[in-house]
Amino acid sequence: MPLTNSTNVNFTTRQLKLPLEIEKLIDIADPVYTFCEVMDHIDLTPYFVDDKDYKTGRPRCDAQKLLKVILFAFMEHGISSLRELEKLCRNDIRFLYLLDGMKSPSFVTFGNFIRNELTVSIEQIFKDINAYIFETEQVDLQHTYIDGTKLEANANRYTWVWKKSCIKNREKVFEKLSALIDAMNTEVLGYLGVKFEKRDDYAIEYVEELLEKYCLATNLDTCSFVTGRGHRKTLHQRQYQEMEGYLERLKTYAKHIEICGESRNSYAKTDHDATFMRLKRDYMGNDQLLPAYNVQAAICDEYIAVIDVKPYASDQDCFVPLMEKFKETYGHYPKYPVADAGYGSYNNYLYCEEHGMEKYMKFTMFEKETKSEKYHTNPYRAVNFKRDAEGNPVCPNGKKFIFKYNRHVKGNRYGRTEELYECESCEGCPYKTECCKSAKGNRTVRINRELTSFHEEVISNLESIHGALLCMNRSIQSEGTFGIIKWNRSYKRLFRRGKENVILELTLISCGYNLYKYHNKKKRGLLAA
Residues 39, 133: one domain?
yes
From the number of C-beta atoms within 10 Å of its C-beta (0-12, 13-18, 19+), residue 89 rates as buried
Q: Which amino acid is at 424?
A: E
Lowest average pLDDT, out of 23-37, 117-131, 302-316, 457-471, goes to 23-37
What is the signed CA dihedral for 435, 439, 441, 443, rounded to 10 degrees? -50
Residues 33, 132: one domain?
yes
Given a contact cutoff of 8 angstroms between Cβ atoms, the answer to whether 292 and 321 are in contact is no
pLDDT reported for residue 505? 95
pLDDT reported for residue 100? 86
Given a contact cutoff of 8 angstroms between Cβ atoms, the answer to whether 307 and 510 are in contact is yes
Report if residue 314 sits inside a domain: no
Residues 32, 125: one domain?
yes
| Cα distance between residue 342 and residue 411, in whole Å | 18
pTM: predicted TM-score of the whole model, two decimal places: 0.86
pLDDT reported for residue 9? 57
Report if residue 421 sits inside a domain: yes
Q: Which of 397, 414, 401 is nearest to 442 (CA)?
A: 401
User: Would you tell me how many other CB atoms lie within 10 Å of the CB of residue 215?
Assistant: 14
Given a contact cutoff of 8 angstroms between Cβ atoms, the answer to whether 307 and 296 are in contact is yes
Q: How confident is the model at residue 5 (pLDDT cuts 50, 70, 90)?
A: low
* 44-48: average pLDDT: 85
Report if residue 487 sits inside a domain: no
- CA angle 101/105/108 to nearest 5° reads 170
Residues 41, 116: one domain?
yes
pLDDT at residue 15 tops 60: no
- State the DSSP code for 496: S
Q: Which of 257, 442, 454 is nearest to 347 (CA)?
A: 454
Residues 126, 35: one domain?
yes
pLDDT at residue 512 tops 70: yes
* 443-466: average pLDDT: 89
Residues 64, 130: one domain?
yes
Report if residue 348 sits inside a domain: no
Report if residue 304 sits inside a domain: no
Residues 168, 238: one domain?
yes
Q: Using one digit for the tens of pLDDT, what is the confidence trace for 485-508?
A: 988 888 989 999 999 999 999 999
Residues 167, 125: one domain?
no
| Cα distance between residue 317 and residue 313, in whole Å | 9
Report if residue 3 sits inside a domain: no
pLDDT reported for residue 301? 94
| Cα distance between residue 426 and residue 415, in whole Å | 32
Phi-psi sector, 62: left (phi>0), alpha (psi -120 to 50), beta: beta
- State the DSSP code for 13: G
Q: Using one digit for the tens of pLDDT, what is the confidence trace for 422-451?
A: 888 888 888 888 888 766 778 888 888 888
Provide the domain count of the chain: 3
Given a contact cutoff of 8 angstroms between Cβ atoms, the answer to whether 380 and 431 are in contact is yes
| Cα distance between residue 300 and residue 134, in whole Å | 9
* SS3 per residue for 263-308: CCCEEECCECCCEEEEEECCCCCCEEEEEEEEEEEEEECCEEEEEE
pLDDT reported for residue 248? 96
Residues 43, 95: one domain?
yes
The parent domain of residue 40 ranges over 27-49+59-138
Q: CA separation (Å) from 444 to 239, 399, 436?
A: 54, 12, 9
pLDDT at residue 10 tops 60: no
Residues 111, 195: one domain?
no
- Final residue belonging to a domain, choices 412, 430, 457: 457
Report if residue 225 sits inside a domain: yes
Report if residue 206 sits inside a domain: yes
pLDDT reported for residue 338? 95
pLDDT at residue 108 tops 70: yes
Q: How confident is the model at residue 389 (pLDDT cuts 50, 70, 90)?
A: confident
Residues 124, 32: one domain?
yes
pLDDT at residue 291 tops 60: yes
